[in-house]
């Protein structure tokens, strides 16, 4: 049975909510046990399975803080959605290998998310506007 738009919105909003709260366990619970997690350009490449995604989220939550995601638009298909969002917050760590030094940061994200029939994320692919991050976090 296919998910409705409303069900997909609830599932991805729950996922984003856990991310905003820096809740690794909550984020991982939104993923299917065999989920593919792909942050495009991430050095280790795509991972498979909940536990394999854990190191990314632990690093992310150390590198970025006070994050707020604003949805710009969503496109829907059968058990998938494409979400274009804007992230704002601060960079106390080293996001994407760049010294954050606590500076304010804002960048766009594009998520391509496929769901299981039970509403968990089967595949998450994330595209980050790295050029915007590099412009805002110049390295001296």
pLDDT tens digit sequence for 48-91: 999 999 999 999 999 999 999 999 999 999 999 999 999 999 99
pLDDT tens digit sequence for 89-101: 999 999 999 999 9
16: CB partners within 8 A, 6+ apart: 69, 85
83: CB partners within 8 A, 6+ apart: 12, 71, 73, 74, 109, 110, 111, 113
Confidence label for 1 from pLDDT (cuts 50, 70 and 90) = low
Which of 78, 74, 106, 76 lies closest to 90, judged by CA? 106
Q: Average the pLDDT over 129-133 and give the result.
A: 96
- Give the total number of structural domains in the chain: 1
Question: Phi and psi (nearest 5°) for 137?
Answer: -120, 60
The two three-digit tokens of residue 118, written as one number: 């039970």
Share of the chain above pLDDT 90, in %: 93
Residue 120 near residue 31, CB atoms below 8 Å = yes
Cα 68–6–117 angle (5° rounding)? Answer: 105
60: CATH:
3.10.450.50
pLDDT tens digit sequence for 105-119: 999 999 999 999 889
Q: Average the pLDDT over 12-29 and give the result.
A: 96
Residue 130 near residue 96, CB atoms below 8 Å = yes
Q: What residue numbers bound the domain in which 59 lies? A: 5-136
Cα separation, 129 vs 140, in Å, equals 21
Residue 4 near residue 92, CB atoms below 8 Å = no
């Amino acid at each position: 049975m296919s998910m409705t738009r409303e069900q997909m919105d609830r599932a991805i909003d729950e996922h984003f909510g856990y991310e905003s709260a820096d809740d690794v366990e909550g984020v991982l619970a939104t993923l299917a046990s065999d989920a593919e997690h792909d942050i495009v350009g991430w050095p280790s490449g795509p991972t498979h399975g909940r536990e394999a995604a854990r190191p990314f989220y632990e690093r992310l939550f150390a590198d970025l803080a006070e994050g707020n995601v604003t949805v710009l638009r969503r496109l829907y298909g059968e058990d998938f959605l494409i979400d274009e969002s804007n992230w704002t917050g601060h960079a106390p760590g080293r996001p994407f290998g760049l010294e954050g030094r606590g500076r304010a940061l804002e960048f766009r994200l594009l998520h391509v998310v496929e769901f299981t029939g039970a509403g968990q994320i089967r595949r998450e692919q994330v595209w980050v506007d790295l050029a915007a991050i590099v412009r805002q976090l110049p390295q001296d």
